[in-house]
Amino acid sequence: MGDQIDFFVSMTLTDRIDFLSEMIISEVEEIDIVQRFHIGYLFSDALKVRIGRFHNPLGYWNPTFHHATFTHMTIERPRFLEFEYEEGIFPVHMVGIWTSGRYDPGPLIFGYDLSVANGSKIEQIDPIGKTGGELDPNTFEGDNNTNKAVSFRLQVGPKALPGLEVMGYGHIGTVEGFDTTSLRVLKVDQSIFGLAAVYVIPGSGLNFLSEFYWIRDEDTLTNLGPHMNTLYYIQAGYTFEERFTPYVRYEEMQVKEGDPYMTSLSAADDRRTIAGIRYEVSLISALKGEIRWIDTGGEDYWKYAVQWAFTF
């Protein structure tokens, strides 16, 4: 991830209505259009409805960490959770309606999210190798078909152990792909399911995140059968003296050979081991340094990265 500035606005208009907008300026898009833009109405703790452009409530990372890297412990998102314009393979951005709520009748706290939004498409696929495409979440020009994407998430955590959450989630939709001549060359029925366990204790310094995803793709144009892919990451960190946070992360993409969706996005097996440290310069500024070992199946290599993140 290169240089970027994130402009974030959140307003409470009444005791029930709120508004959120997020826009970035980056080296990728120069001045980018709004990344998130939605208005919400709170009916009760058990039901809040948002309408607009939002991050897919799939898993833990997507609805928790957004474009501002200051909020990330690490320098970058997990590889398979990158944004669409950064060679991502997940539909991170969505336009539609998103409902959520929490309910705590006894010793457990339950939460849920449910969204119905435009599905994704893949553009600029090389007509020869069927690779090199880019995922487009259909958030600005409208949906390219009548199939809507549905995402959901269910959470549960014990009141006696704040910070611990276990969740299951999924995303179901149809993705069409178009080559450089705008000819449709791909139509995939896609199902994503996953499980996550997180343990984040504010004030104690402990931070543990883990997410697992299974992506099932079936190309209905070729009828060659389904392909199943496995993706996951495990990340842990601990803060000392309120300033130093060493952390580690292991992440892996196991991509099924011949999966037309993954092939069109040039996605392949990828394993990464990351070790780093975050130093809180002040309440609004942090320095991060990382060492990464990356194995793409065909080759493996080391990378080093430094980031200065700040907020104001």
Render each residue's pLDDT in the chain as its tens digit; 312 residues: 456 777 878 888 999 999 998 888 766 554 456 788 899 999 999 999 999 999 999 999 999 998 888 888 999 999 999 998 888 999 999 999 999 999 988 899 999 999 999 989 999 989 888 898 999 888 777 677 778 999 999 999 999 888 899 999 999 999 999 999 889 999 999 999 999 999 998 767 889 999 999 999 999 888 788 999 999 999 999 998 889 999 999 999 999 999 999 999 999 999 999 999 999 999 889 999 999 999 998 889 999 999 999 887
Q: Is 245 exposed, middle or buried (0-12, 13-18, 19+ CB in 10 A)?
A: buried
Q: What does the pLDDT read at residue 293?
A: 96
Q: What does the pLDDT read at residue 30?
A: 46
Helix (H), strand (E) at residue 28? none
Q: What does the pLDDT read at residue 311?
A: 84
Q: What does the pLDDT read at residue 128?
A: 85
The beta strands (E) that lie in the chain are given as 4-12, 17-26, 30-44, 47-55, 93-103, 108-118, 121-125, 134-136, 148-158, 164-179, 184-200, 206-219, 226-238, 244-254, 270-282, 285-295, 300-310
How far apart CA 297 and CA 287 sit, in angstroms, is: 31
Decide the pairing of beta strands 93-103 and 17-26: unpaired
Classify the C-alpha dihedral 194-300-72-97 as positive or negative. negative
3-state secondary structure of 205: coil
How far apart CA 149 and CA 122 sit, in angstroms, is: 15
Ordered structural domains, the chain, with CATH: 4-310 (2.40.160.10)
Spatial contact of 137 and 92, defined as CB atoms under 8 Å apart = yes
How far apart CA 125 and CA 131 sit, in angstroms, is: 5
Q: What does the pLDDT read at residue 3?
A: 64
Q: What does the pLDDT read at residue 32?
A: 56
The model's pTM is 0.91
